[in-house]
Amino acid sequence: MKTFFFLSLGCPKNRVDTEVAVAALMAQGYRAVDSPQEADLLVVNTCSFVLDARTESIQALVELAEVKRSRPGTRLVAMGCMGQQSGDDLAAELPELDLVLGTGDPASLPELLKGPERVHRTAATYLPDTAVPRVLTQSPAFAYLKVADGCSRRCAFCTIPSIKGPFESRPIPALVEEARMLADQGVRELVLVAQDLTQFGLPGRRSLLRLLDALENVDGIAWIRLMYLYPEGIPEALIDRIAAGGKVVPYLDMPLQHVDDRVLRKMRRGTSESSIRRIIDRIRRASRPIALRTTLITGHPGEDEAAFANLERFVREARFEHLGVFAWSPEDGTPSAAMSGRLPAAERRRRRATLMKLQKRISREINRSLVGSLQDVLVEGPSADHPWVLQGRTQRQAPEVDGIVLLDGFEGQPGDLVRARIRRASAYDLVAVPATDGE
């Protein structure tokens, strides 16, 4: 039996494509192995979003090329965003590559391995109109559901539209079918992802609500989480729906990138500080508390000392439950890369560190306020750092990007929902013990 080693880099949408490719390989008789030294086929699903991501992808390919040279007959594949963006260059720079595949057809990987073509160009997006088999590569407790692909916005710093093309949604029946397929594999939480979830099903703003109605009826699914919602597109009806309860958890991921009006104009975000503050205020006034995550960028051209001070003040006042910060990097082909007023890289990183230090204090205060509370926790499996203890997440914590709950004194399987009392809290993680009978 042929064996393969698969490394998935980048965003959750990449993870979905990886799971499709893995399922296709296994349907053709391949078997997954944990070590590249044991594999007949080495595959990297690359990311090309920013320089650091491209560097990580290239480094992974170079390391696996060394493995290939030590194992005659092993094949090496690069797929994903780097293949889509610069497949010919990638093939020229790494002659060890046997196949370079773009972003549009991960299920075709086994068949392409049989052919002579070395660089296979695909459509930019992968939007099947039916459910496609996937093999889950993380905890079976949750799975990402890619409801759309591409992006029609033109933020000045972003390469995604040039890689993935315009925004396109998948049909609701296909997504419901895929959700049922995932539930049959034991998935309890669906994490809905797209480049901008608020654009799902355009024109109109009720398509996302219709999708949620349909997913609510999928047996076995307990939680539905919404990620990547552009702030200008969030309707009040969606906030009300999240606050109303049901399977949709009280959590919103709303990437803002900045709050200063001058920087927002430079970024071409199409929003303003007053608009951002209004939507946050509306979310905070919902009928039940909704946890907020956002991402910010420091050091974008035009971010002077006053603009950064405004951003720092905003973080202090907004008190996000979860926050990620990136130092701006000049990406080839983006308008931001050609702008004047570029700060030194060290200053961009310093500002990032300043915000992260501030957020760490805020997160610790928020988490400590949860001590003593009862929470429903979704079990993911053994802790990566303490394998004798289970770990899970509350509804306030998204997989991979937020903290975890260490479950002291619990027994169970991935996908179990347990009632827990929070006993201790750090800036990012919680420790819980079983709730007593009747709690």
Alpha-carbon gap, residue 117 to 88, rounded angstroms: 12
- Using DSSP's 3-state secondary structure scheme, residue 99 falls into strand
Cα–Cα separations (whole angstroms), residue 130 to 112, 127, 181, 327: 22, 9, 11, 39
Q: Where are the beta strands (DSSP E) in 288-353?
A: 291-298, 322-327
In a domain? residue 183: yes
CA 396 to chain centre: 16
Share of the chain above pLDDT 70, in %: 99
pLDDT by residue (tens digit) across 128-147? 889 999 999 999 999 999 99
Evaluate whether 193 touches 227 at the Cβ level (below 8 Å): yes
84 and 149 both lie in a single domain: no
222 and 320 both lie in a single domain: yes
Q: What is the pLDDT of residue 428?
A: 93
Alpha-carbon gap, residue 430 to 404, rounded angstroms: 6
Q: Over 80: is that where the pLDDT of 4 sits? A: yes
Q: Is 48 left (phi over 0), alpha (psi -120 to 50) or beta?
A: alpha
Share of the chain above pLDDT 90, in %: 77
Q: Over 70: is that where the pLDDT of 23 sits? A: yes
Q: What is the pLDDT of residue 204?
A: 54
Q: What is the pLDDT of residue 87?
A: 86
194 and 78 both lie in a single domain: no
- Using DSSP's 3-state secondary structure scheme, residue 40 falls into coil
Q: What is the pLDDT of residue 49?
A: 81
296-309 average pLDDT score:
97
264-287 average pLDDT score:
95
Asked which of 67, 90, 120 is the last residue of a domain, the reply is 120
- Using DSSP's 3-state secondary structure scheme, residue 390 falls into strand
Going by pLDDT thresholds of 50, 70 and 90, the confidence category of residue 102 is: confident
In a domain? residue 128: no
116 and 155 both lie in a single domain: no
In a domain? residue 45: yes
Q: What is the pLDDT of residue 205?
A: 53
Going by pLDDT thresholds of 50, 70 and 90, the confidence category of residue 251 is: very high
Q: Over 80: is that where the pLDDT of 359 sits? A: yes
309 and 295 both lie in a single domain: yes
Taking alpha carbons only, the member of 231, 272, 259, 268 closest to residue 318 is 259
In a domain? residue 149: yes
Order across the sheet with 41-46: list the strands: 31-32, 3-8, 41-46, 75-80, 99-101, 119-120
Q: How many residues does the chain have?
A: 439
For residue 414, the domain's CATH number is 2.40.50.140
Going by pLDDT thresholds of 50, 70 and 90, the confidence category of residue 97 is: very high
**Range with the lowest mean pLDDT among 75-84, 172-181, 194-203, 291-300?**
194-203
159 and 307 both lie in a single domain: yes
Alpha-carbon gap, residue 242 to 225, rounded angstroms: 10
267 and 399 both lie in a single domain: no
382 and 362 both lie in a single domain: no
For residue 148, the domain's CATH number is 3.80.30.20
Asked which of 368, 400, 419 is the last residue of a domain, the reply is 368
353 and 410 both lie in a single domain: no
Cα–Cα separations (whole angstroms), residue 99 to 7, 94, 213, 435: 15, 11, 41, 53
373-397 average pLDDT score:
93
Q: Over 70: is that where the pLDDT of 183 sits? A: yes
Start-end of H helices in 192-321: 207-216, 236-243, 261-267, 273-284, 305-318
A 10 A CB-CB count for 51 gives 12
Alpha-carbon gap, residue 31 to 262, rounded angstroms: 53
* Domain extent for 390: 374-434
Q: What is the pLDDT of residue 52?
A: 85
pLDDT by residue (tens digit) across 308-343? 999 999 999 999 999 999 999 999 889 999 999 899
For residue 12, the domain's CATH number is 3.40.50.12160
Q: What is the pLDDT of residue 291?
A: 97
Q: What is the pTM (predicted TM-score) of this model?
A: 0.93
In a domain? residue 20: yes
Q: What is the pLDDT of residue 341?
A: 87
The residue type at 140: P
C-alpha triplet 104, 324, 157: angle, nearest 5°:
55
In a domain? residue 244: yes
349 and 208 both lie in a single domain: yes
Asked which of 120, 153, 173 is the last residue of a domain, the reply is 120
Please name the residues in contact with 66: beta carbons below 8 A apart, sequence gap of 6 or more. none
In a domain? residue 130: no
Q: Over 70: is that where the pLDDT of 203 sits? A: no
Tally of domains in the chain: 3
341 and 408 both lie in a single domain: no
> How many CA atoms, within 13 angstroms, populate the side-chain half-sphere of residue 299?
21
In a domain? residue 288: yes
181 and 277 both lie in a single domain: yes
**Range with the lowest mean pLDDT among 112-121, 274-283, 421-430?**
112-121
Average pLDDT, whole number, for the chain?
93
